[in-house]
Amino acid sequence: MLILGINAYHGDSAACLVKDGMLLAAAEEERFRRIKHWAGFPSESIKYCLSEANITLADVTHVAVNQDATANLWKKIGFTLAKRPDLSLVIDRIKNKKERANVAEELAAVFPGVRFVGEVHAVEHHLAHMSSAFHVSPFKEAAIVSVDGFGDFASAAWGYGRDGEIDIDDKIYFPHSLGIFYQALTQWLGFPNYGDEYKVMGLAPYGEPKYMAEMRRIVKLQDDGSYRLALEYFRHHKEKIEYEWENGEPKVGELYASELNNLLGPARQKGEELTQRHKDIARSIQAMYEEAFFHLLHALHKRHGGENLTLAGGCAMNSVANGKVLRNTPYKHLYIQSAAGDAGGAIGAAFSVWHKLGGKRGFVMNHAYWGPEYDNDEIGLLLDANATKLTEQGCRRDFLSDEDILCSRTAKAISEGQVIGWFQGRMEWGPRALGNRSILGDPRRADMKDILNLKIKRRESFRPFAPSILREAVPEWFETDDDVPFMMQVYQIREEQRSLIPAVTHADGSGRLQTVDKNTNPRYYRLIESFCALTDVPVLLNTSFNENEPVVCTPAEALDCFMRTRMDVLVLGNWFISRS
């Protein structure tokens, strides 16, 4: 059975391919289109997945889409009759649903002359999220929570999974949404782009939660573990918000109403100085999110008990809150797959259909390397074609067939303060660079953040860089001993170690942890081992291989990024390219 899973017509469009219950390939459309968070139909991702499996669309037996226009229909009708929103809001949503209705037509346009004879399945948005969390987790049973902005008229769902079954307890419906709360307040802070919420997370440790009284006027916790928004502070429920979801970068209009300015003061304009007040409000936003999130988790645990929890949805990308789950709730084990947001809905839709059709559990996603890969011969041809440009930039290239030599030489360059582009194996699934499409630096250098921002990243100085660490070294360096392979949790670095790795220690002493296992990424593990042999530090600074663009996918994109920035070394497979 071949199931093509799709997240379409929303931010982070993506596709995956599941064969007989095993994941074969997964990729986000942005990596091929080169537009961040690309929204629309993921045609290039689909082409990649089929190519990776060496099949055609005609071989696919099922297509699963993480959206169901018929889901929660009575809730939609009830809201429309009770609230009577702006007619343009209703018409726009109906129009969008019609445009999204015929996946078979989209596939026919992408693959002319190839007939898809399988079945198309519409999977409710939050069920897809919950499946993406639980069905690929290592747990036989677990509590499951999906929290995001909106999908199929709901913003959250929770329940419990056993074997292949998922039972949904309840949902939170439009217009109430923890994701909308965070996104609207992110806009108010002067970060208007889709996906800018991580900037608020990065800014929050520089402030104090001085505005909790105001936040609790915006978000109201309910006795059943749910929450409600004070709707006077928002626009999304009563008037048309400017949304762009078609064939490009997603754009979302202003979500907050003028009443928010009356509560918090004038909104910060983009580019305006970040004052201590803004930092305190950022901290308060994060604290309010955590308060509502843990309120829900405690209610869920009270109902079902158990030690295991799985999370999905855009809000499951809140790595700061995720890192506090085991400390602040009764749960003892946490799983979040590497594309917890809407891209992950492609995997959730596919596995939901697999189990609906009687498939058994057998796959565990313990790594994120599901994208394209390129061999050394392809890379060699690319370098030959760019030989003149490399010479003009004073670059030398060497082919190092011995992995120990390759890793030792790279580790030495890192220890000398050089910035390394590291391009290996299959591209990561999800937004994080996890050692295959990474830029690496020395975590011991207090100035490494400034060096990276000057040479390559050009991003806000308050945003942290992440530590990659050998799995067995975690308890010595962090206040945890958990597996965190996908960089989805922030934990405190042990106080006595912080001065040794200042470049990856955030303002509050934390680090967004990636544990590196010898079995799932042996080359990256070997590189960190080599660095540790030189420095006694089993940690590397790891950030995504890009410069204000999606993470690089191909060797050509990696080489282009290297040549237009001031990166010192590029390691493409076994090719070592250095500037003299």
Tally of residues, the chain = 580
* Distance separating alpha carbons of residues 488 and 377, to the nearest angstrom: 34
CATH 3.30.420.40 segments of the chain: 2-125+344-356, 144-337
For 466-509, how does the pLDDT look when each residue is reduced to its tens digit (9 = 90+)?
Answer: 999 999 999 999 999 999 999 999 999 999 999 999 999 999 99
Cα(409)–Cα(420) distance, integer angstroms? 11
Q: Lowest-pLDDT range, 16-25, 109-118, 335-344?
A: 109-118
Instruction: Tell me the C-alpha distance between 526 and 520, whole Å.
Output: 12
Inform me whether the pLDDT recorded for 389 exceeds 50.
yes
CATH architecture assigned to 144-337:
2-Layer Sandwich (3.30)
On the CB side of 519, CA atoms within 13 Å amount to 3
Type of residue numbered 352 = S
DSSP state of 486: T
Residue 175, preceding bond cis, omega within 30 degrees? Answer: yes
What confidence category does residue 84 fall into, taking pLDDT thresholds of 50, 70 and 90? low
Question: What is the Cα–Cα distance from 325 to 294, expressed in whole angstroms?
Answer: 8
Residue listed under structure tokens 């802070």: 189
Mean of pLDDT values over 6-11: 93
d(CA 449, CA 571): 21
Q: CB 507: neighbour CB atoms within 10 A?
A: 14
- Burial track 159-197 (b if 16+ CB lie within 10 A, e otherwise): bbbeebebebbbbbbbbbbbbbbbbbbbbbbbbebbbeb
pLDDT tens digit sequence for 337-366: 999 999 999 999 999 999 999 999 999 999
Phi, psi of 507 (to 5 degrees): -60, -30
Segment 133-148 shows an average pLDDT of 98
Q: Give yes or no for residue 83 having a pLDDT over 80.
A: no
Mean pLDDT of 251-258: 96
Task: Report DSSP state, residue 473.
Answer: G
CATH for 2-125+344-356? 3.30.420.40
What's the rounded Cα separation, in Å, for the pair 332 and 414?
36
Q: What is the 8-class DSSP label of residue 432?
A: S
Rounded to the nearest angstrom, the gap between the alpha carbon of residue 112 and the centroid of all alpha carbons in its chain is: 32
Q: 99 pLDDT exceeds 50?
A: no
Question: What are the percentages of helix, strand and coil residues in the chain, rounded to 5?
Answer: 40, 20, 40
Distance of alpha carbon 188 from alpha carbon 172, whole angstroms: 24
Residue-level pLDDT at 280: 98
Q: What is the CATH number assigned to the segment(s) 376-579?
A: 3.90.870.20
pLDDT surpassing 70 at residue 244? yes
On average, the pLDDT of the chain sits at 95
The pTM (predicted TM-score) of the whole model is 0.95
State whether residue 8 is helix, strand or coil.
Answer: coil
> Which distant-in-sequence residues (6+ apart) come within 8 Å of 156 by Cβ?
126, 145, 146, 147, 148, 171, 172, 177, 178, 226, 296, 313
Q: DSSP letter at 457?
A: I
Which helix (DSSP H) or strand (DSSP E) does residue 157 occupy? strand 154-162
DSSP 242-311: -EE-SSB--EE---B-HHHHHHH-SPPPTT----HHHHHHHHHHHHHHHHHHHHHHHHHHHHH--SEEEE
- The position carrying tokens 């901290």 is 283
Q: According to the model, what pLDDT value does residue 85 have?
A: 66
CA 266 to chain centre: 31
- The confidence score (pLDDT) of residue 409 equals 98
Position 98 pLDDT exceeds 60 = no
In one-letter notation, the amino acid at residue 335 is Y
pLDDT tens readout for residues 390-435: 999 999 999 999 999 999 999 999 999 999 999 999 999 999 999 9
